[in-house]
Amino acid sequence: MSDPKARLRHDDILAAGLDDWRKVLNRLKARFRTGDFATGLTLVDRIGAAAEEAGHHPDVTLTYPEVVVTLSSHDVGGITSRDLDLARRISELAAELGAVADVSGLTEIEPALDTASAERLGDFYAALLGAQAGPGGVVDPSGQVPGVWFQTPDGDGGAPLPERDHEQRWHLDVWVPHDEAERRLQAVLDAGGRLVSDADAPAFWVVEDADGNRSCICTPLERG
């Protein structure tokens, strides 16, 4: 973990003991309840100063009651010790201001299109979303829209959804922390959803709404 360019596994991140943070999709994420805009603005200012000092910069979202911070090392496409170090410092800054960390409900949405024509369609969706096409999907560097990825029918883009009795080209991959998935699944079931498959749990569960439209609840567990 001393190499700042080495991508960390989920077990490495858990071992770091960052109680305020969770790995969601391929990023480290935290939410701090500030209670008012002024405290949030102060926290953002201090995070900015810490980031400049570290030479490593998070994505920060400020709203009236909270600040959401997301960390990743874009140069290696994952989470590194640089992210862990800055996460610790941000938690210290939040605690100094009385901002309370809340990991419940942390989520990343990744729309997925089932298609065998990823190369042909990539430029279209990049143009539509004001994003950039890349291998296997579309990414918005500004973070305004979620990334889109293309899942091929034979599963090359990831594990295919189980067979269904109606055509569905789009589905949502809803990424949650490793310790949030079962609560999220239960909430879906309580809201009238149905569990289609847990064969790949705890990596993901396939669920569907009352009309049969399917989505996946995904975690970083058992993904190599």
Amino acid at 148: V
Helix (H, G, I), strand (E, B) or coil at 76: coil
Alpha carbon distance 101, 19 (integer Å): 9
User: Which tens digit of pLDDT belongs to each residue from 41-81?
Assistant: 999 999 999 999 999 999 999 999 999 999 999 888 899 99
Q: What is the mean pLDDT of residues 173-193?
A: 96
Mean pLDDT, to the nearest integer, of 99-119? 92
Best-predicted range by mean pLDDT among 43-47, 119-123, 164-168?
43-47
Peptide linkage before 162 cis (omega within 30 of 0): no
Q: What are the residue boundaries of the structural domains of the chain, listed by start? A: 10-101, 108-218
Indicate the SS3 state at residue 184. helix
Residue 36 makes CB contacts below 8 A (sequence gap 6+) with: 64, 65
pLDDT value of position 166: 58
Name the fold adopted by 10-101: Gyrase A; domain 2 (3.30.1360)
Q: 108-218: what CATH class?
A: alpha beta
Integer angstrom CA distances of residue 156 from 23, 78, 115, 214? 24, 21, 11, 19
- What pLDDT band is residue 118 in, cutting at 50, 70 and 90? confident
| Both structure tokens of 34 | 């500030």
Q: Which residues pair with 32 in a beta bridge?
A: 67, 101
Provide the pLDDT for residue 72: 95
Mean pLDDT of 7-23: 95
